[in-house]
Amino acid sequence: MGKIKETLYSTSNGEFLVGNSEKLLKGKLYEKLKGKVDLIITSPPFPLNQKKKYGNLKGDEYYNWFINLAPLYSDLLSEEGSIVIEIGNAWEPERPVQSLLHLKSLLGFVENSDLRLIQEFICYNPSRLPSPAQWVTVNRIRTVDSYTHVWWMAKSDFPKADNSKVLRPYSKSMRSLLKRQSFNAGKRPSAHTISEKGFLTDHGGSIAHNFFEMDPIDGDREVRLPHSVLSLSNTNSNDFFMKKCREMNYTPHPARMHKGLVNFFINFLTDENDLVLDPFGGSNTTGYCAEINNRKWVAFELDGSYAEQSILRFQNPVDNVKLKVY
């Protein structure tokens, strides 16, 4: 894609633009990208009750803004493309009651377009700080809100997807079963019938689940995340980006997506050279994961300082990315 004036930097696979993605995606870029995006993966501003630094909307205003993104994103998607949105829970102002806004937003999003929910994933973060703090740590009447929703949507019932590209390591018992080459076949209490040979072939790993535990809470327990998640997981405080932020005295983006999560969906839902887009790029986790997985990418960010810090991601000598900053 040729350089446009909002481009802050580019690599041979992608570019990062500073500005309001809704506005930019309705201009010339719309014509360039229409029908060509294979995966939109993003974590939009969450519906919050207090405005965060980057100006999240509230209530009806949020709902209307969010659902109006759906027709635009659907137009950008290729016929087999997918949209993956990560979103957290919201709480009613000054009440120990969960808000329904994110659920209404999901319904509105699919109803306002030709999209459908393909599958929901849950992303559990055991290291999440206690929140909502008032009800969890002061009054002690609620538990820690510790997961985000990940909604996978598409225009057709059969978006491109291949779960054999995102296998989990086999469990210990499965590994020994594969060695032993025997198990008790037959009917299970769940009514599943297990055939004589059903489990005797080594497929390189087991099929991923729609639940991710992003950091192992217990080092001794086997947390079987897909290889693609593990290889890029954030055990974030020590990755190159965070070290660089500390060195440069930058405050890292407060709501970064987990690299493992982005990597999982890129591998699961796209092939090499497919185009990945993130309209709410923040520190550009998406662009970085797309880059190192050899996908094309475009990402946007409204806030110039987050955009600037995202440059650091691409400076890891190990990745050998050719970066051009304008």
Residues at the contact surface with ligand SAM, assessed by CB under 6 A: 20-22, 43, 45, 54, 253, 255-257, 279-280, 282-283, 285, 300-303, 306
* Minimum distance, C-beta of residue 202 to ligand SAM, in the bound complex (Å): 35
The residue (of 166 and 312) whose beta carbon lies closer to ligand SAM is 312
DSSP tag of 143:
-
* CB closer to ligand SAM, 25 vs 154: 25
| Amino acid type, 175 | R
Residue number with CB closer to ligand SAM (160 or 253): 253
| C-alpha dihedral, 12 to 166 to 121 to 299, nearest 10° | 0
Taking the complex as a whole, the smallest distance from the CB of residue 42 to ligand SAM amounts, in Å, to 7
The enclosing H or E element of 316 equals none
Cβ pair 128, 88 in contact under 8 A: no
Neighbours of 123 (CB within 10 A): 21
> By C-beta, is 115 or 302 nearer to ligand SAM?
302
Among candidate residues 31, 32, 21, 33, the one with its CA nearest the CA of residue 68? 21
Q: To the nearest whole angstrom, how small is the minimum distance from the Cβ of residue 58 to ligand SAM?
A: 14
Of 78, 84, 223, the C-alpha closest to 153 is 84
| E-strand stretches of the chain | 7-10, 14-18, 37-42, 77-87, 116-124, 147-154, 186-187, 193-194, 211-213, 275-278, 296-301, 324-325
Measured distance CA(254)–CA(272) in Å, rounded: 30
Could you tell me the two tokens for 16? Answer: 């990062």
Of 66 and 168, the one with the shorter C-beta distance to ligand SAM is: 66
Contact 281, 300 (CB under 8 A): yes
Closer to ligand SAM by Cβ: residue 44 or 81:
44
Shortest distance (Å) from residue 206 CB to ligand SAM: 28
Closest by alpha carbon to 212, among 129, 293, 280, 126?
126
- Please say whether the beta carbons of 228 and 267 come within 8 A: yes
Q: Give CA–CA dist 260/204, Å, rounded.
A: 19
Q: Minimal distance in Å, beta carbon 262 to ligand SAM?
A: 8
Minimum distance from CB of 294 to ligand SAM (Å)?
20
Residue nearest to ligand SAM (CB): 282
CB of 261 to ligand SAM, least distance (A): 10
Q: Distances in Å between the alpha carbon of 59 and those of 64, 109, 147, 172, 189? A: 9, 15, 21, 47, 46
**Minimum separation from the CB atom of position 91 to ligand SAM (A):** 17
Q: Which neighbouring-strand residues pair with 301?
A: 18
Q: Encoding tokens for residue 297?
A: 């990418």
Shortest approach of ligand SAM to residue 282 CB, angstroms? 3
Q: Which is nearer to ligand SAM, 226 or 279 (CB)?
A: 279
Smaller CB separation from ligand SAM, 270 or 285: 285
- CB closer to ligand SAM out of 89 and 285: 285
